[in-house]
Amino acid sequence: MSKQNLSVLFRVRAEREKKNGMYPISVRITVGGQRVEFSSQLTVAPSEWDSETGRAVGETKSARIINDHLDLIRGRIREAFIKMEQYQEPLTAHGLRDRYLGVDANSRTILQVFDEHNQKCEGLRNKGFAPATIQRYSTTRKHFAEFIRETYQRPDLNLGEMSPKVIGDFDYFLKTKHNCSHNTATKYLKNFKKITRIAIANGWLKSDPFISTKFHLDDVDMAYLTEEELQRIMIMKLSNQRLERVRDIYVFCCFTGLAFTDTKELLYSNIEDREDGKWIITRRHKTKQLCRIPMMSPALTIMEKFKSDPYCIKTGRVLPVPSNQKTNAYLQEIADLAGINKHLSTHTARHTFATTVTLSNKISIEVVAKMLGHSSINMTKKYARVVDDFISRDMSKIQDKYKL
């Protein structure tokens, strides 16, 4: 086999200028006079590009990062070229490109791996995978497919094309196109990382595209009802039966701390009579952690109210809970009628139980963690901001005693 010459060049595609004014950088491979060009998945500002050298110019951080990536691409192409020579494989520009991208007759794409994963999850619905978890993976897959179509004008990406740049662009896409908060985008990326881990474990993906990604969640100021707001919702008169039902279910959650799904699936068989009253004994749908919750008077009253409801009689469920979407919409109507300027959702009831109903009444954080079904007390500590209120309230009693 005659020895072939290799040329690797980089150029910008000005005709494909992005909306943000950046130019995509393409890779041009020439082997023995045959040429092929493909995307590097990098973009550069026109002012930072030197077309003669095929490199970014300047001392900016972005220029250094681009040049480092270009050097990495060139090195990997040369490595693939040398291996093809060693094994006496037919050396063509297209073959070298495919070797570099990890494309061959048996190659897989990222969406194929995603689909295989999601199908297995569906087969294990309620046997290890909660419906909500399956839905999150399905939504992540949908967003990534949309990202590929809009960013690369292609239906899919080969696994060999996955890189830290793709991950960063997907994060940007989620936050701009779908207006996702940082925490929401991070959760989608965590879901996506599982797919790449599967590909790496099976030898389909050679390097981890998440190698430079550090996950962190921002602290969120969780909404909850104060004592006065909770009382206002409990006693308000509602002429609309639909709103009254949702209000009652919401108040039940405020006094039990159950999450929406756990409330919806709560059965009378989960209610245990003890010497000191009725207790809810159930496992959390999300974490499978066991919850033991003594039922307070408001929750008992609401449970009794729906005892003769046809749906509850037929299904054995404690409450006739509508869909999460409808419940949240009705809760906002209730908040408006009650004059509460907060975004109420099914999850704010759980926050209200943790803060207003329990911690504010000096129930220990260890006990609250058990009732909420948290696997670690660290999960409960996010509610402990109310402890600052306790400190302020208690310390105010001695402020005057020690004045100079």
Instruction: Determine the angle formed by the axes of helices 324-338 and 241-254, rounding to 10 degrees.
Output: 90
Report the Cα 7 to chain-centroid distance in Å. 42
Give me the phi and psi of 186, to 5 degrees please.
-65, -40
Give residue 261's identity as a one-letter amino acid code: T
- Pick 227-395's CATH classification: 1.20.1250.20, 1.20.58.1910, 3.60.40.10, 1.10.443.10: 1.10.443.10
Q: Containing H/E element for 64?
A: helix 61-86
* Tokens representing residue 322 in the block: 């509508």
Contacts 24+ apart (CB under 8 A), 146-154: 146/177, 147/173, 147/174, 147/177, 148/111, 150/177, 152/39
How many CB atoms neighbour CB 170 within 10 A? 21
d(CA 253, CA 79): 60
Q: How far is CA 211 from CA 94, 151, 193, 197, in A?
A: 28, 22, 10, 11
Tens-of-pLDDT digits for all 404 residues of the chain?
456 789 999 999 888 888 888 999 999 999 988 898 988 989 999 999 999 999 999 889 999 999 999 999 999 999 989 988 887 777 888 888 888 876 654 567 899 999 999 999 998 887 878 787 888 999 999 999 999 999 888 888 888 888 899 999 999 999 999 999 999 999 999 999 999 999 988 878 878 999 988 898 877 667 889 999 999 999 999 989 999 999 999 999 999 999 998 999 999 999 999 999 999 999 887 777 889 999 999 999 999 999 999 999 999 999 999 988 899 899 999 999 999 998 888 889 999 999 899 988 888 888 988 898 887 787 787 776 555 665 666 677 677 777 66
Closest CA to 102 of 70, 73, 78, 80: 80
pLDDT of 264: 93
Closest CA to 213 of 176, 172, 254, 252: 172
Q: How far is CA 116 from CA 78, 113, 199, in A?
A: 33, 5, 11
| Angle at alpha carbon of residue 264, lines to 140 and 302, rounded to 5° | 145
Closest CA to 158 of 75, 1, 74, 39: 39
pLDDT of 105: 43
Q: How far is CA 20 from CA 17, 291, 307, in A?
A: 8, 50, 59
Beta bridge partner(s), residue 35: 30
In the chain, domain spans = 6-101, 110-201, 227-395
